[in-house]
C-alpha cells in the first residue's frame, strides 16, 4: 500500500471515529434530558442534537474530501506516480522478448594434404562441407532503461505516453548441435567431415542465424510485443498507452 493510500485510509478511520463520538454525545444528551420532566425542552433538545449531528457529518465529510483532494494534488504526488509507473514498467522487461528459430546452412570448401591445409587445388585434396544446424535468437526491449522522464501521464484523459528504448539482441544465437547435420564431398586424400569439424563452422552458423533473424523482423516483433504487454498491463488500471521508440543514435 502506498503512503497516499495509507493517508486516505487514516483519514477515513478518523471520520468514522468522529461520527461514532458524535452519535454517543447525541445519545448522552437525549438520555440526560429524558430524566427531566420538561417535555417541550426535551423535544427541542432532541431536534437540536439531530441538527448538530447532521452539521458535524457534513463538516467531517467536507474535511475528508478536502484532505483526500489535497493528498492527491499536493506537490510531489504526480512525480511519485510517474516514478511508480516507471518501476512497474521496468518489472515487465522479461515479458517483452521475442524469439526466432532459424536454420543455418553453412558451406565450406578447402584443400588439405596429409592433415595440413594447402593453398593449391591439387586433385584429390579438395573437400566441400555442408553444415545444417538450427539456432535460436532472442531480442527484447530493455525496459530496465526506462526513466521517469520517459513517462508522461495525462490524468484528465487517462493516457500514458511512453518513450521506450529500441529493441536489441539480448541473447546471442545458441545452436542446437544435437540436431546438426554435416555432409561432405571429399577427394581421394580427404576423410569425411564429422561433427567436430561442424563445431569449427559454428561461428559462421551463429552469424548467419543472427543476420537472418534480423532480416525476418525479429527486432520489430520484440517492439510489438512490448507494446502489447505494456498496453494490456495499464488497461487494467483504466489507462490508454501511446508508445514511441527512441531514435537511433
Residue 44 has a pLDDT of 42
Residue 201 has a pLDDT of 82
Q: Which three cell numbers stand for residue 9?
A: 485510509
With H, G, I as helix, E, B as strand and everything else as coil, classify residue 135.
strand
Please report the beta strands in 88-237, taking only residues with DSSP state E, as ranges in sequence order: 97-113, 116-117, 126-140, 151-154, 159-164, 168-175, 181-186
What pLDDT tens digit does each residue of the chain (249 aa) get? 555 445 545 554 554 555 455 445 544 444 444 444 444 444 444 444 444 444 444 444 444 444 434 443 444 444 445 566 666 666 666 666 889 999 999 887 765 655 566 665 666 666 777 888 999 999 999 888 888 888 888 888 889 899 999 999 998 899 998 898 877 665 444 455 555 666 778 889 999 999 999 999 999 999 998 898 888 888 888 889 999 998 754
Give the span between the Cα atoms of 242 and 246, in whole angstroms. 13
What is the model's pTM?
Answer: 0.57
User: Where do the structural domains in the chain lie, given as residue ranges?
Assistant: 3-74, 80-245
Residue 104 has a pLDDT of 92
Residue 156 has a pLDDT of 87
The dihedrals phi and psi of 172, each to the nearest 5 degrees, come to -65, 155
Give the span between the Cα atoms of 132 and 201, in whole angstroms. 10
8 Å CB contact between 100 and 167: no
**Which residues, at least 6 apart from 22, have a Cβ–Cβ distance to it below 8 Å?**
52, 53, 56, 57
Residue 161 has a pLDDT of 92
- For residue 243, the number of C-alpha atoms closer than 13 Å in the C-beta half-sphere is 22
The dihedrals phi and psi of 167, each to the nearest 5 degrees, come to -65, 150
The alpha carbon of 113 is separated from its chain's Cα centroid by a whole number of angstroms, namely: 58
Cα torsion 145, 150, 154, 158: sign: negative
Q: Which three cell numbers stand for residue 74?
A: 499536493
Amino acid at each position: 500500500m502506498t503512503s497516499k493510500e495509507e493517508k486516505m485510509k487514516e483519514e477515513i478511520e478518523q471520520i468514522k471515529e468522529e461520527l461514532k463520538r458524535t452519535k454517543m454525545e447525541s445519545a448522552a444528551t437525549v438520555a440526560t434530558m429524558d430524566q427531566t420532566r420538561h417535555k417541550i425542552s426535551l423535544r427541542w433538545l432532541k431536534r437540536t442534537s439531530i441538527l448538530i449531528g447532521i452539521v458535524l457529518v457534513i463538516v467531517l465529510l467536507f474535511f475528508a474530501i478536502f484532505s483526500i483532494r489535497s493528498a492527491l494534488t499536493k506537490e510531489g504526488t504526480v512525480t511519485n506516480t510517474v516514478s511508480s509507473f516507471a518501476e512497474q514498467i521496468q518489472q515487465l522487461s522479461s515479458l517483452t522478448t521475442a524469439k526466432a528459430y532459424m536454420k543455418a546452412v553453412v558451406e565450406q570448401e578447402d584443400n588439405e594434404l596429409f592433415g595440413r591445409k594447402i593453398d593449391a587445388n591439387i586433385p584429390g585434396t579438395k573437400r566441400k562441407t555442408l553444415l545444417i544446424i538450427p539456432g535460436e535468437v532472442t531480442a527484447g526491449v530493455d525496459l530496465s532503461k526506462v526513466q521517469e522522464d520517459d513517462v508522461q501521464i495525462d490524468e484528465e484523459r487517462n493516457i500514458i505516453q511512453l518513450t521506450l528504448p529500441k529493441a536489441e539482441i539480448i541473447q546471442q544465437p545458441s545452436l542446437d548441435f544435437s540436431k546438426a547435420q554435416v555432409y561432405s564431398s571429399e577427394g581421394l586424400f580427404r576423410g569425411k567431415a564429422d561433427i567436430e569439424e561442424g563445431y569449427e563452422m559454428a561461428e559462421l552458423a551463429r552469424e548467419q542465424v543472427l543476420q537472418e533473424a534480423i532480416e525476418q523482423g525479429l527486432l520489430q516483433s520484440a517492439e510489438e510485443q512490448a507494446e502489447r504487454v505494456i498496453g494490456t498491463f495499464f488497461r487494467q488500471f483504466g489507462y490508454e498507452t501511446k508508445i514511441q521508440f527512441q531514435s537511433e543514435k
